[in-house]
Amino acid sequence: MEGVFFMKQIYILLTILIIGLAACTSSPTLEVTVESKREIEDTEIGETATSHEIQKVVYATSTNTTMPTPISTTQPTITSTPNISTVPTPTAMTYMGTVNADVVNLRREPNTESEIVGQVESGDTVTIIGRDEDSKWWQITSDKHEDVLAWIFAEFVNVKMPANAEISMSDSPFGEPNVAVVYDATGTNQAGGTMSGIPPAGNFETPKGINPLTGLALPSNKQNLRPVIVCINNDFVARPQYGTSKADVMYEYIMEGYFITRFSGVFYSDEADRIGPVRSARLINYYMAPLYEAALMCSGASDEVRYILKHEANFPYFDIDLDDPGNNVYSTSIGRDYRTRLQTSSAGFRQWMSEWHVEKSPKIRGFTFGDMPSGGVPAISVSVPYPRSSRVSYSYDSSKGRYLRYMGDVAHTDGGTNKQLMYENVLIQYASHQDTDIVEDSLGTVSIRINLFGSGQAILFRDGHAFKGTWQSSNSGDTPRVFDENGREVPFKTGKTWISVVPLNYVVDYSS
């Protein structure tokens, strides 16, 4: 009896095994590729993912119309790279997008080192038929390149779709990770080219005896130096900031969450012993630095913004957190409050650029300077409706020929001089503010993309008058120009400028 029972068990097991083998041989073939959610320079495709990587299964095309059940495997098969030349018939939901930057390169694969297969311009319509794993790149077709399937960096396309819409991930494999920017002794990008969305350099000359940012005399020892942009905190506890009066140009822009602003100072002609508090970079700095062919110094950034600035920007970026962690070479630390402790100086960032071999004379257009034109309206007081903690106003002082700056009805001063900030020019620059998928803080607040290239509405205040019109920056090195409503260029007054970048719906009040 025991022998019979044993034979029955063997028979049952063999039957189950045969059925299982039959099912496997009739199933569609499935290929998977393990990819890192983040591109990591030292990780080759197909390597075993480390603990800090997030694995994702990518399904290859199957003849079965039903999505197969994922099959776990410890040694994934790597799919080969197809030679993409024609456009397949899309099988997933497609959406239309509009290009929002002047000129954007189309790539054969989703990375900035891939072959350029075409270009699109601001206002062009594209059809989105896929995405990469992180949704940083769209796979598209366009009317200009009907026979080509291409990739475009997602930030430079405005897409209208339902909130719950999904775009399928493309079956095309990922390209190689972007490489770090390497500069030679003259500061030239040895990797070649620039990231999509940043227009090429204009045909501008290096400064001679005149500062292109102020119209004033430029000392000979400054003519072979490049401007440096420093990110400066504007939290209430950070006021008054140090070194702001020494910047040739000051920028002010809204932060994620739309509740406070941050500053970026463009330092060129004047020396500053203390600059700060230095704080983290934002996406707007990616667009700001090329306008002045400037270097950028900040303290930290979100992971994705930091990656863009370190590996995809066409200018040198110094991150104090990474590059001077002891705060004893190019920066200093005062106190323990992260919002106020970090500072740098002109000597600090000049030492950095000299030792890193990224110093150079910039080729920029510079502001157009001249006498006050006709057509302006009196504007003695100006109010910029930033959030309550950052609300700004100006009062024109005719005896000084400058606008005195206030924050929250209190004189805005430089902590290094204890004097009120005042400017010959105040430019209100309207620009589109677009939420991205870049998370900036632990609350999930996302980064805002503010592109400073192209054109938009503007108001230039100078000599107690307001000039409404448009701003324009077409190329790298093309500092903003202002044109009145009749298309005539409005010159800046010789001196320093404060630029407030504001959302399109802001109403800036001014009166006589």
pLDDT score of 396 more than 60: yes
Q: Strand ranges (DSSP E) for 92-217?
A: 95-99, 103-107, 116-121, 125-131, 137-142, 150-153, 157-159
Predicted confidence (pLDDT) per residue in 456-510, tens digit: 999 999 999 999 999 999 999 999 999 999 999 999 999 999 999 999 999 999 9
3-state SS, one letter per residue, for 361-399: CCCCCCCCECCCCCCCEECCEEEECCCHHHCEEEEEECC
- Name the residue type at position 270: D
pLDDT, residue 216, reads 97
Is the preceding omega at residue 177 within 30 degrees of 0, hence cis? no
First vs last C-alpha separation in the chain: 111
Q: Which of 175-184, 263-272, 500-509 has the lowest mean pLDDT?
A: 175-184
pLDDT, residue 162, reads 56
Domains in the chain, ordered, with CATH?
95-159 (2.30.30.40), 181-512 (3.50.90.10)
Predicted confidence (pLDDT) per residue in 123-151, tens digit: 888 888 788 776 788 888 887 776 678 88
pLDDT score of 107 more than 60: yes
Percent of all residues in the chain with a pLDDT value above 70, rounded to a whole number: 73
pLDDT, residue 101, reads 80
pLDDT, residue 169, reads 55
**Quick count: other Cβ atoms within 10 Å of Cβ 269?**
20
pLDDT score of 280 more than 60: yes
- Name the residue type at position 440: E
pLDDT score of 174 more than 60: no
- Are 285 and 309 contacting, i.e. CB atoms less than 8 angstroms apart? yes
Is the preceding omega at residue 240 within 30 degrees of 0, hence cis? yes
Mean pLDDT for the stretch of residues 99-107? 83
Mind giving me the DSSP string for 237-300? Answer: GGPSPBSGGG-SEEEEEEPTTSS-EEEEEEE-SS--S-BB-B----THHHHHHHHHT-EEEES-
- Angstrom distance (rounded) from CA 313 to CA 303: 15
- Are 375 and 467 contacting, i.e. CB atoms less than 8 angstroms apart? yes
- Cα–Cα–Cα angle for 74, 75, 81, nearest 5°? 135
- Angstrom distance (rounded) from CA 302 to CA 380: 40
Residues 6+ apart with CB under 8 A from 77: 31, 32, 33
Give the max Cα distance, the chain: 116
Mean of all residue pLDDT scores within the chain: 79
Q: Which of 17-31, 106-120, 335-349 has the highest mean pLDDT?
A: 335-349
In the structure, what pLDDT confidence band is assigned to residue 166 with cuts at 50, 70 and 90? low
